[in-house]
Amino acid sequence: MIKQTTSKITQERIQRYLEEGKRFDDRKLNEFRELSIETGVSKNAEGSAKVKLGKTEVLVGVKMNIGTPYSDSPNKGNMMVNAELLPLSSPRFEKGPPKFSAIELARVIDRGIREYKFIDFEKLCIKEGEKVWTVFIDIYSINDDGNLLDAAGIGAVAALRDAKIPKYDEKKEMVLFGELTNKKLSVKKDFPVSITFHKIGKNIIVDPTREEEDVSEARVTIGSSKGIISSMQKGEPVALEIEEFEKILDMLEKTWDNIFKKIEKVVK
Amino acid sequence: MTERKIIIPGEKIVDSKEFLPGEGTEKRDGGIYSLIFGLAETLDKLVKVIPLSGVYNPRRGNVVIGQVEEITFNGWIININAPENAFLSLMEVPRYVNKDGLDEIMDIGDMAVVKIWGINKRGIDVSLKSIGLGKIDEGIIMEVNPHKVPRVIGKEGSMIKLIKDNTGCNITVGQNGLIWIKGNKVEDELFAKKAILHVAEKCFVSGLTEEMEKYFGGKK
Amino acid sequence: MPEIKRKSGRKADEMRKISAKVGIIPNANGSAMFVSGKTIAIAAVYGPKEHHPRNQRNPAKGTLRCTYNMMSFSVTDRIRPGQNRRSTEISKITEWALEPIVILDKYPGKVVDVYIHMTQADAGTRCAGINAAAMALAHAGIPMKNIVSSIAAGKLDKTIVLDLDKYEDSEFEEGEGSTDIPMTFTSDGKLTHIQVDGYITPEQLKEAMKMAREASKKIYEVQKQALKDSLGKEK
């Protein structure tokens, strides 16, 4: 049973434990769960990744197609991020078009990748003003045990790094879907990591389980790499004290190092 | 003869010459066939299949733990992890309840230990009117698959007693798989939770009682 | 029967390599994955539970509700996310393939939701979906008369073959072209689903059905083993 709302007694216990700097699964407050990343898991995609963070699992796929550039950037390709919170992954998700949480997830991931300038959009130009590659990033939740946001962020980066450009027939002006060139999608060597910090009572934690996520009062998602912040978003209606916000910024570097090491270990 | 065999739906357990079809089975084509995924067991002449997975099947007399989802004009609707929710009438609370004060007794999101006293077409009826039942004030709630509850409790309560003694916690095991642990320190509660998860994982291993004794011997 | 050379090198009555795993989604009441060659299907079952919307409840017995969909990147030409006419039709076909074997008398007014997604597609998707769903339903403890096993037989030009892959299904055009016949069998040989797309005589169809029936037995063994293996490590 996954209760639609976590009970007050669990909330009380989570908070009490946090006061002592502890969590139910023995993790530190700034520690991520066990991470596993598998790329190339969906062979018809240009790039794909399966990410597991504890029991949370997401599947991300990258597809590419020819499109027209935006009028204010005629020599750049573009990107579209889409996320679906599948009913398959939790009794809390319903069938139907994406609700706000799915839309927000997609937009936060989009922001993280776009602001970091992770993809070299200029290399995706085929004919200036007329033809460019559009990169589609599609995110699907497979099992929700909290923090789909950060799992999806890691998955998007991994899938993009795995992606190869499809063959393009210049004469026929057609994409040869299913046939990939050996050319990888041009992305920066360094990558942004999205970390969402959650406020529970007076404490700040990262990578909440679903139970912890239920009692989180406010959250801040920060996309950063090696000390530079490129994107940030605060969610949930509770306000943060300035001190709490500064505490998050102080936690950022060490937390980032920890998760970055974990990612490096599993991705080439 | 109590022989246990893992069986899937539609699989034949035995020929029906000497046996009778019990729970989870049906007789057809001269044999006793399983209707569910579980453990097939033959006791005397009866063949039955015990489910190992799936939702909780509520039974009269079961004590379960649930969460209040809704408050109606005359009671509370409680999610007990069954195919349908249960109803606690204000008449089934061991004290006078003011019709306007239901939320003061128990509010949405509160958890309680209740007993199923009736199952009929209208639904599942539960009560708070017995010793050991009532709203849960504090502690940890954890969940195991309901079919593992007998293992967690153990023969005549031996397993759960072992865990209680070694962790110093009060533990109430709901037949629906929800378990309430209350201890003096959160640490003790989490220790009990880990021990219960360990038992649930090793559900099919024999000699589990000895293993759990070792488990506690080593850790404490 | 005329010999045929298949692009994959497979014999006429040779199925692609299959594998299965049960218990892949901890949140679900039951879940499973089925792989056939390059086609991968995952399924999750939630229920029996309260059936919403209320006006669709069946007061006599529980309702089986299947939703099939393909992930946008599961195919070479990206599919726009969301349900379309094809996925709606296959959802219903899947329901019909599974309904004869599920026993929902004890759950009047309730619903059992089955969600199927293709994470990678190379033809035979509805069959892989049905195979995954059948395991997930058993894993969820739903009472069932039987497990069902699904496979497509077909015809390439004049030859009856088993398990068409994507190339054979959509690009093979020699002679009489390709005919695709997905079918679903219970373990005791009853047919719960069949579709035909192509050009085939009744005699040829009988032959195709025999071939598919034989193959379904092999699939059944894999499904059975996957269920039994799942007890080692529970969610």
**Mean pLDDT over each residue of chain B, to the nearest integer:** 90
On whether both B109 and B174 belong to a single domain, the answer is: no
Is residue B38 within 8 angstroms of chain C, CB to CB?
yes
DSSP C36: E
Spatial contact of B49 and B36, defined as CB atoms under 8 Å apart: yes
| pLDDT surpassing 50 at residue A163 | yes
Number of domains chain A is built from: 1
Output the pLDDT for position B104.
85
Which residues of C lie closer than 8 Å to A, measured between beta carbons? 25-28, 38, 40, 42-44, 46, 49, 67, 71-78, 81-82, 113, 115, 117, 119-122
Task: Read off the pLDDT of each residue in B26-47 and give the average, rounded to a whole number.
Answer: 93
CB spacing of A88 vs C42 below 8 angstroms = yes
Over the stretch A181-240, which tens digit does the pLDDT of each residue have? 999 999 998 999 999 999 998 999 999 999 999 989 999 999 999 889 999 999 888 889
**Distance (Å, rounded) from C-alpha B111 to C-alpha A6?**
10
Of C38, C82, C117, the CB nearest to A88: C117
Which domains, from first to last, does chain C contain?
Answer: 18-225 (3.30.230.70)
| pLDDT surpassing 70 at residue B1 | no
If you count residue pairs, one on B and one on C, with CB atoms under 8 Å apart, how many are there?
79
B102 located within any domain: yes
**Mean pLDDT over each residue of chain A, to the nearest integer:** 92
CB spacing of B9 vs C224 below 8 angstroms = no
Over the stretch C33-58, which tens digit does the pLDDT of each residue have? 999 999 999 999 999 999 989 999 99
Is C41 in a helix, a strand, or coil? strand
**Distance (Å, rounded) from C-alpha C54 to C-alpha B74?**
22
Of C144, C146, C234, the CB nearest to B145: C234
| pLDDT surpassing 80 at residue C3 | no
Helix, strand, coil percent content, chain C, rounded in steps of 5: 30, 30, 40
* DSSP letter for each residue of chain A: ---SS--HHHHHHHHHHHHTT--TTS--TT----EEEEES-STTSSEEEEEEETTEEEEEEEEEEEEPPPTT-TT--EEEEEEE--GGG-TT--SSS--HHHHHHHHHHHHHHHHTT-B-GGGGEEETTTEEEEEEEEEEEEE-SS-HHHHHHHHHHHHHHH-EEEEEETTTTEEEEEEEEEEEP-B-SS--EEEEEEEETTEEEES--HHHHHH--EEEEEEEETTEEEEEEEESS----HHHHHHHHHHHHHHHHHHHHHHHHH--
Between A19 and C41, residue with greater pLDDT: C41
Question: Does the N-terminal peptide bond of residue C100 adopt cis geometry, omega within 30 degrees of 0?
Answer: no
Shortest Cα–Cα distance, B67 to chain A (Å): 8
CB spacing of C138 vs B201 below 8 angstroms = no
Between C117 and A3, residue with greater pLDDT: C117
pTM (2 d.p.): 0.94
**Which residue type occupies A93?**
F
Is C15 in a helix, a strand, or coil? coil
CATH number at residue A226: 3.30.230.70
Give the residue from C231, C233, C235 with the most B CB atoms within 10 Å of its CB, the best one to mutate.
C231
The token pair that represents B204 in the structure block? 């099919």
Shortest Cα–Cα distance, C41 to chain B (Å): 21
Shortest Cα–Cα distance, A218 to chain B (Å): 20
**Distance (Å, rounded) from C-alpha C153 to C-alpha C16?**
12
Output the pLDDT for position B205.
67
Residue that terminates a domain, selected from B135, B151, B174: B135
Over the stretch A131-141, which tens digit does the pLDDT of each residue have? 999 999 999 99
Q: Measured at the alpha carbon of residue B145, what is the angle toward residues B139 and B149, in degrees to the nearest 5?
A: 75
Give the residue from A3, A44, A165, A175 with the most C CB atoms within 10 Å of its CB, the best one to mutate.
A44
CATH number at residue B33: 2.40.50.100
Of B8, B84, B145, the CB nearest to C110: B84
Over the stretch A92-115, which tens digit does the pLDDT of each residue have? 998 888 899 999 999 999 999 999
Over the stretch B55-81, which tens digit does the pLDDT of each residue have? 899 999 999 999 999 999 999 999 999
CATH number at residue B174: 3.30.1370.10
A17 located within any domain: no
Which pairing describes strands B170-173 and C30-36: parallel, antiparallel, or unpaired? unpaired
Of B111, B141, B186, the CB nearest to A17: B186
A180 located within any domain: yes
CB spacing of C25 vs A143 below 8 angstroms = yes
On whether both B179 and B203 belong to a single domain, the answer is: yes
Task: Read off the pLDDT of each residue in B17-32 and give the average, rounded to a whole number.
Answer: 92
Contacts of A48 in chain C (CB under 8 A): 73
CB spacing of C103 vs B35 below 8 angstroms = yes
B175 located within any domain: yes
CB spacing of B9 vs C144 below 8 angstroms = yes
| pLDDT surpassing 60 at residue B188 | yes
On whether both B189 and B203 belong to a single domain, the answer is: yes
CB spacing of C27 vs A87 below 8 angstroms = no
Number of domains chain B is built from: 3
Shortest Cα–Cα distance, B137 to chain A (Å): 7
CB spacing of C143 vs B203 below 8 angstroms = no
Write down the H helix ranges in B63-122.
Answer: 102-105
Is residue B217 within 8 angstroms of chain C, CB to CB?
no
Spatial contact of B58 and B38, defined as CB atoms under 8 Å apart: no
User: Which structural domain, as residue segments, surrounds residue B114?
Assistant: 63-135
On whether both B128 and B173 belong to a single domain, the answer is: no
Output the pLDDT for position C78.
96
On whether both B167 and B214 belong to a single domain, the answer is: yes
Of B10, B51, B203, the CB nearest to C141: B51
Contacts of B185 in chain A (CB under 8 A): none
The band of A1, judged by pLDDT with boundaries at 50, 70 and 90, is: low
The band of A168, judged by pLDDT with boundaries at 50, 70 and 90, is: very high
Q: Which of C31, B91, C195, B21 is nearest to A57 (CA)?
A: C31
| pLDDT surpassing 80 at residue A2 | no
Contacts of C38 in chain A (CB under 8 A): 43
B209 located within any domain: yes
Contacts of C30 in chain A (CB under 8 A): none
Residue of chain A whose alpha carbon sits nearest to that of B142: A10
A172 located within any domain: yes
Residue B197 pairs with which residues in a beta bridge?
A: none
A158 located within any domain: yes
Residue of chain C whose alpha carbon sits nearest to that of A137: C73
Is residue C94 within 8 angstroms of chain B, CB to CB?
no
CB spacing of C115 vs A45 below 8 angstroms = no
Output the pLDDT for position C235.
37
Of A3, A6, A8, the CB nearest to B79: A3
On whether both B155 and B199 belong to a single domain, the answer is: yes
Shortest Cα–Cα distance, A10 to chain B (Å): 6
CB spacing of C48 vs B85 below 8 angstroms = no
User: Which structural domain, as residue segments, surrounds residue A110?
Assistant: 26-266
Give the residue from A55, A63, A88, A105 with the most C CB atoms within 10 Å of its CB, the best one to mutate.
A88
Task: Read off the pLDDT of each residue in C159-166 and give the average, rounded to a whole number.
Answer: 95
The band of B183, judged by pLDDT with boundaries at 50, 70 and 90, is: very high
| pLDDT surpassing 90 at residue B207 | no
Task: Read off the pLDDT of each residue in C25-36 and give the average, rounded to a whole number.
Answer: 97
Write down the H helix ranges in chain C.
Answer: 85-98, 125-139, 166, 202-229
Of A5, A6, A16, the CB nearest to B186: A16
Output the pLDDT for position A192.
92
CB spacing of A59 vs C119 below 8 angstroms = yes
On whether both B72 and B114 belong to a single domain, the answer is: yes
Residue that terminates a domain, selected from B117, B135, B153: B135
B109 located within any domain: yes
